[in-house]
Amino acid sequence: MSVTTENTSSVTPENVEKAEKIKEEANQCFRKQDYNKAIELYTKAIELNPTIAVYYGNRSIAYLKTECFGYALNDASKAIELDKTYVKGYYRRAGAHMSLGKFKLALRDYEMVTKAKPNDVDAKLKYTECNKIVKQMAFERAIRVDDTKKSIADSINLENMVIEDEYNGPKLLDGKVTLEFMEHLMKTYREQGKLHRKYAYKILLDVKQMFMSQPSLMEITIPDNSKFTVCGDIHGQFYDLMNIFELNGMPSTTNPYLFNGDFVDRGSFSVECIFTLFGFKLLYPDNFFMSRGNHESQTMNQMYGFEGEVKAKYTAQMSELFTEVYNWLPLAHCLNNRVLVMHGGLFSRDDVTLDEIKKIDRNRQPPEEGLMCELLWSDPQQQLGRAPSKRGVGVQFGPDVTKNFLELNKLDYIIRSHEVKNEGYEVAHDGKCITVFSAPNYCDTMGNNGAFIVLNGKDMKPEYTTYKAVPHPNVKPMAYANSLLSLIC
Ligand SMILES: [Mn+2]
C-alpha cells in the first residue's frame, strides 16, 4: 500500500511551496517554545499539502509538548501511514505512548526503528532504556502477586528511625503536627532544608489513615459569611505555593482551602509541596481538603519526576508509600450542594449521579476508562456533545453535557483544573464550567498566570485572583524526570 504518492497529484505546486514556507515558520515557533502557534502553523501546512509525513511528525511533537498525547499519537500514526520509511514517526509515536505510561506499545515502535536502522546508536539506546522499564514493571508485578495485600505502611518501623543530635529542622510534638511545626517546615523548605525522614514517614502514615476514613466524594458546608478558596494544579512549584498563602492568607480554621489535584510532578520541589499540603491536612482536617489529580498516580510519577525526586530526597520505599496514600485521596468535593469540584471533568455517560460518584471504590491506580478515569482526566470542549480526548485518556465534554449533568444533580456549576490557561483560569460553558490552574509560568516555559478562586458561602459566586510566578532556586523543572522522557523530545 503506497499512500505516499496517492494524493500528491491533487496538490498544486503553489500550495506545495506555500506549505513548505509555513512549515519553516512553524519550526521557528517550535524552537522558541511557542508550541500552540507552531501547532496552528503545522495545521495550515497540512491543509495546503496533506501528503507530507514530516508535517504530521512535527505537529506530533508539538502536541506532545502541550500534553495532547492523544493528538500526538494520531499524528505520529498518520506520518507513518504516509511514509513507512519515516523513522521519526515511530519515535514520535513511541514518545506519545511513553507519556501515557504505555511502555509495551512504545517498545514495539522502538523495535521497529532498531530493525529499520540496525546501526543507529540512538535507536538502540532508546530501545534498551524502554525495555528496561518494561522488564522492571513486569518484575514489580511479579513480586506483588507473591504477597498481594501486604502494604508498605505496615512494614515501616518508626521506632527504629533515629533523630540525629545535629538535626535542627521542624519536629512533631508528641507525633502531632502543630502550627509551630508548619511554620518551621515552610521556613526550612524556603531555605532548601529537609524534613527528617522519621517525621516524613509519620506524616504519610497519619494522612493515609485520615484519607482512608473519608468518602470518594466529600461534602463540604461553607457557612453564609465565610470564605472558601479553591486552588488548581501546583505541580511541584513550592515557591509559587508559598506565594498563594502570602496573597490569600495561611490555611486556618477560618481560611479553608481545597487543592484540586496535581500537587506533584514536573516542578522539582514536589516533595516540599506535598509535605506542606499533607501537614495542613493533618493540622486542619475539617478545613483543608485535597482531591486526587491524574498525576497522583504511579505511571505519571515514574515519568514526570515525583518518583525520582522522592528517591533522591528520601527512599524508594517512601515513593511506594506515596502510591498507597494517593490511592486514598478523595476524587471530588461538593460545596454547599451547589458546586462540584474535580480535577479533570465530566463523563462519557449522561446519567451519572453524585451518589454514583460517592460509591466509587477508589483505592487503586486510576483505570483507563470509567467514572474514576474521567473525573481525573477529562477536559471541556466548546462544541456540543462529546469527542475523543486530545490526551488519549478520558473524554471531552461540551456545554450541553455540563448543563445536563448540573440539572440532573441540582448543581450550579463545576470547578475543574488540569489545563494550563493564560490567565490562570477560564470560564466556559455559559459560566457553568470553570477551570482553575495555580502553577504560574508552568514548567518555567508557558508564561501563564496562576489563579485561585475565592467563594463565600452565601452566594457561592466565584472571585478570581491571578498572580505571576515568583523566583525559585536554580533547580529546573523535570530535573528528576525519567531520562527517557528527555530523550523523546
Ligand atoms: Mn492534570
pLDDT digits (tens, 9 = 90+) for 269-293: 999 999 999 999 999 999 999 999 9
User: Residue 63 Cα, ligand 1 centroid: separation in angstroms?
Assistant: 16
pLDDT number for residue 487: 55
> 223 and 134, same structural domain?
no
Could you give the number of structural domains in the chain?
2
User: Residue 5 Cα, ligand 1 centroid: separation in angstroms?
Assistant: 41
Query: Rounded to an integer, what is the distance from CA 315 to the centroid of its chain?
Result: 22
User: Residue 235 Cα, ligand 1 centroid: separation in angstroms?
Assistant: 9
> 81 and 162, same structural domain?
no
Contact 405, 421 (CB under 8 A): no
Render pLDDT for 7-33 as a digit per residue (tens, 0 to 9).
Answer: 556 899 999 999 999 999 999 999 998
Angle among Cα 389, 391, 396 to the nearest 5 degrees reads: 25
User: Residue 416 Cα, ligand 1 centroid: separation in angstroms?
Assistant: 10
Q: Which domain holds residue 12?
A: 8-143
The residue out of 143, 178, 195 marking a domain boundary is 143
Q: Which position has the grid cell 466524594? A: 217
Gap between the terminal Cα atoms of the chain: 30
| Type of residue numbered 11 | V
In a domain, 181, yes or no: yes
User: Residue 380 Cα, ligand 1 centroid: separation in angstroms?
Assistant: 13
pTM for this model (two decimals)? 0.91
Can you point out the beta strands (E) in 256-352? 257-259, 288-290, 332-335, 339-342
* Domain of residue 231, CATH code: 3.60.21.10
Beta bridge partners of residue 230, listed in sequence order: 258, 453
Q: In what order do the strands lie in the sheet with 386-388?
A: 379-380, 395-397, 386-388
In a domain, 150, yes or no: no
pLDDT number for residue 9: 64
In a domain, 218, yes or no: yes
**pLDDT > 70 in the chain, percent:** 96
Render pLDDT for 435-449 as a digit per residue (tens, 0 to 9).
Answer: 999 999 999 989 999
User: Residue 303 Cα, ligand 1 centroid: separation in angstroms?
Assistant: 14
> 422 and 287, same structural domain?
yes
> 226 and 113, same structural domain?
no
pLDDT number for residue 90: 92
In a domain, 2, yes or no: no
> 174 and 139, same structural domain?
no
In a domain, 273, yes or no: yes
pLDDT number for residue 5: 47
Active-site residue numbers? 295
Q: Which position has the grid cell 460553558? A: 429
User: Residue 344 Cα, ligand 1 centroid: separation in angstroms?
Assistant: 7
In a domain, 149, yes or no: no
The residue out of 95, 113, 143 marking a domain boundary is 143
Distance CA 361, CA 330 (A): 10
Q: Which position has the grid cell 491543509? A: 47
pLDDT number for residue 139: 80
Angle among Cα 103, 105, 361 to the nearest 5 degrees reads: 60
pLDDT number for residue 1: 41
Query: Rounded to an integer, what is the distance from CA 213 to the centroid of its chain?
Result: 25
Distance CA 49, CA 4 (A): 12
> 99 and 173, same structural domain?
no
Question: 415 in helix, strand or coil?
Answer: strand
In a domain, 148, yes or no: no
The residue out of 118, 143, 168 marking a domain boundary is 143
> 444 and 357, same structural domain?
yes
* Domain of residue 60, CATH code: 1.25.40.10
User: Residue 75 Cα, ligand 1 centroid: separation in angstroms?
Assistant: 22
Q: Retrieve residue 249's grid coordinates.
A: 492568607
Query: Rounded to an integer, what is the distance from CA 238 to the centroid of its chain?
Result: 16
User: Residue 284 Cα, ligand 1 centroid: separation in angstroms?
Assistant: 25
* Distances from the Cα of 342 to the Cα of 47, 175, 348, angstroms: 37, 32, 15
User: Residue 87 Cα, ligand 1 centroid: separation in angstroms?
Assistant: 31
Distance CA 201, CA 321 (A): 9
> 366 and 268, same structural domain?
yes
> 202 and 67, same structural domain?
no
Q: Retrieve residue 34's grid coordinates.
A: 511557542
User: Residue 51 Cα, ligand 1 centroid: separation in angstroms?
Assistant: 34
> 161 and 133, same structural domain?
no
With a cut of 70, list the residues of the chain below it in pLDDT.
1-9, 144-149, 486-489
In a domain, 95, yes or no: yes
> 202 and 252, same structural domain?
yes
Helix ranges (H only) for 147-178 are none
> 446 and 316, same structural domain?
yes
pLDDT number for residue 116: 86
